[in-house]
Amino acid sequence: MKISRALISVTDKTGLDEFAKFLEKYGVDIFSTGGTLRFLEDRGVRAKSITDLTKFPEILDGRVKTLHPGIFAGILAKKGSAEHLSQMEGLGLVLFDLVVVNLYKFEEAVRSGESLENSIENIDIGGPSLIRAAAKNYESCAVVVDPSQYAQVMSEMENSGEICLRTREQLATRAFERVAEYDIAIAQYYRKEFLPDRKIHNPLFVCANVSMNLRYGENPHQIGVFYGNFEEFFEKLHGKELSYNNLVDIDAAQKLIQEFEEPACAIIKHTNPCGAATAENIFEAYQKALTADPKSAFGGIVAFNREVDDKLAEILNQIFLEVVIAPSYTDSALQILKKKKDRRLLRRVKEIQPHLEIRSSCGGYIVQDSDSALLDSNALKVVTRRHPTDEEMRDMIFAYKVCKHVKSNAIVFARDRVTLGVGAGQMSRVDSVKIAKSKAMEAGLSLQNSVSASDAFFPFADNVEEIASAGATAIIQPGGSVRDAESIEAADKHGVAMVFTGIRHFKH
């Protein structure tokens, strides 16, 4: 299809000077609006005002300028329809072959914190309408919605003098995608402003662009990509590309480390913490976290909530770690850590906020809000005859925070705010207890005078028996089983203190 007449109305004028001059060189008659027209005229491009066609001025501060049948008829007319062409000729209307439109920067206005009034003024009306019209009529009109598309159009026109049907189909597809992105951004903004108390909305909007092409998914035969803005939360400072599994583990590590205000370290392997600790300083926290399961830590991901210095960097280099995450690094620490050329170093830009969690299931999607429930120490209920000591209570709160981020069924043993053994992802909760005990034994750690946390209630008293036999003196769990009385009785028999939280933290 030869391009004879174009309508150009853009907010982002990147590359427009070159593109418009190219169109002019190829004899394209250009019509434009407002600021775009002035931009072209200032650069010597012979462009005409859209009002020459509409015979109607731009009004309402530019809110109405292209919404006119003289414009839309020229975009929507089918060039293969004799009836359409006859009507156009009878009304003295002209045909458009190319529509070049990009939209008011609504998303940018929202990101920069503009007021509601200013954000609304950045909602484009005419632009999406022009784009939709041209995309609908792609057989007769090409549509360009992004400056990055200029090169393709120029190359094709230069080679053949036309824009082929296949290219017009591709441009139309991207046009509808862009309008959908834009409308979803507006709808989500309105939901936040006008329906702030709703956590789940109908319909579900999921709209994000691919920002990372991954080598593959969980396995080499699977395709993997990342949609969204990774850089909003993390800055990659060093190392090879991130993998699908890296990203899943990074999310798990960061969410766990966010549970703590005091200096903390979490070491993650396959989304589960194999070691976690808090301490007086970050160096000590790492040393303690590593002792919990040094074998599993190999090839893991380590996250900190304090700056990494050269002293810490030196011992981090002693084992193989896939990823290191911290809010900052000293210059000397970075130089040390960069000696491992493939290891990824991430700077945490900001915490991951509660959000909708979406998974595909049964041909559809299951959605929930984040498990952001916080443990209220004042709401804990002691259900045994023996009350926990202050030290046991501190350890139980620590263990329960870690347990929240362990795959169910989850059991965590801890002492002095250090994990000693973690049992994860078992079909039987008592098996998780046994695995946690065996992990501590394998690491040479005693469970005497430890505490234990469970992410859900104990269905049977055998869990308490196993925990007590390991040497734990206190247990924290949600409670709520029909056999709670049996578990309490078993705890009393062994002199173990037990606390109910009333909050379950299943993690499938």
CA distances from 478 to 232, 241, 326, 353, 442 (A): 35, 40, 32, 24, 28
CATH code for position 490: 3.40.140.20
One DSSP character per residue, 79-145 reads TT-HHHHHHHHHHT----SEEEE----HHHHHHTT--HHHHHHT--SHHHHHHHHHHHTTTT-EEE-
Gap between the Cα atoms of 248 and 188, Å rounded: 25
Which of 186, 157, 227, 116 lies closest to 2 in space, CA to CA?
157
Tokens 């959605």, residue located: 367
Which pLDDT does position 68 carry in this prediction? 85
Residue 24 CB coordination number (10 Å): 17
Q: How far apart are CA 324 and CA 346, in angstroms?
A: 6
Number of H helices, E strands in the chain: 19, 21
Cα 137 to Cα 213: distance, rounded to the nearest angstrom: 32
Q: Is 173 contained in some domain?
A: yes
If asked whether residues 14 and 159 sit together in one domain, one would say yes
Question: Same structural domain for residues 168 and 52?
Answer: yes
- Which entry of 13, 79, 105, 136 is annotated as an active-site residue? 136
Q: 74 with 177, same domain?
A: yes
Active site (annotated) includes residue 508: no
| Domain shared by 384 and 300, yes or no | no
Of 175, 193, 211, the last residue of a domain is: 193
Q: Greatest CA separation found in the chain?
A: 97
CATH number, domain of 188, equals: 3.40.50.1380
**Is the CB of residue 94 less than 8 Å from the CB of residue 3?**
no
Tell me which of 308, 332, 348 is where a domain ends: 348
Q: Residue 365 domain-assigned? A: no
Task: Answer yes or no: is 148 within a domain.
Answer: yes
**Number of structural domains, the chain?**
3
Determine how β-strand 411-415 pairs with β-strand 418-423: antiparallel
Do 256 and 162 belong together in one domain? no
Q: Is 136 a catalytic residue?
A: yes
For the record, the structure tokens of 35 come out as: 């600021």
Q: Same domain, yes or no, for 386 and 248?
A: no
Q: Does some domain include residue 217? A: no
Identify whether residues 182 and 284 lie together within a single domain.
no
Residue 269 lies in a domain: yes
Express each pLDDT in 155-207 by its tens digit. Answer: 999 988 899 999 999 999 999 999 999 999 999 999 999 998 888 888 888 88
Residues 488, 401: one domain? yes
Q: Are the beta carbons of 212 and 233 closer than 8 angstroms? A: no
If asked whether residues 294 and 398 sit together in one domain, one would say no
Pairing, β 418-423 against β 474-477: unpaired
Per the residue annotation, which of 270, 338, 434, 494 is the catalytic one? 270
Does 36 fall in a domain? yes
Per-residue pLDDT at 52: 86
pLDDT (tens place) for every residue of the chain, 508 residues total = 899 999 999 999 999 999 999 999 999 999 998 899 999 999 999 999 988 887 777 777 777 777 788 899 999 999 999 999 999 899 999 999 999 999 999 999 998 899 999 999 999 999 999 999 999 999 999 999 999 999 999 999 998 889 999 999 999 999 999 999 999 999 999 999 999 888 888 888 888 889 999 989 999 999 999 999 999 999 999 999 999 999 999 999 999 999 999 999 999 999 999 999 999 999 999 999 999 999 999 999 999 999 999 999 999 999 999 999 999 999 999 999 999 999 999 999 999 988 888 888 899 989 888 888 888 888 899 999 999 999 999 999 999 999 999 999 999 999 999 999 999 999 999 999 999 999 999 999 999 999 999 999 999 999 999 999 999 999 999 999 999 999 999 999 999 999 999 999 998 8
Shared domain check, 400 and 491 = yes
The secondary structure of residue 478, as a DSSP letter, is -
Is 257 among the domain residues?
A: yes
- pLDDT for 166 equals 96
Q: CA-to-CA distance for 380 and 385, rounded, in angstroms?
A: 15
Say if 200 falls within a structural domain. Answer: no
Domain residue limits at 404: 377-500
Tell me, yes or no, whether 64 and 160 share the same domain.
yes
Final residue in a domain of this structure, among 193, 222, 245:
193
In a shared domain, residues 51 and 177? yes
Question: pLDDT tens digits, residue range 255-282?
Answer: 999 999 999 999 999 999 999 999 999 9
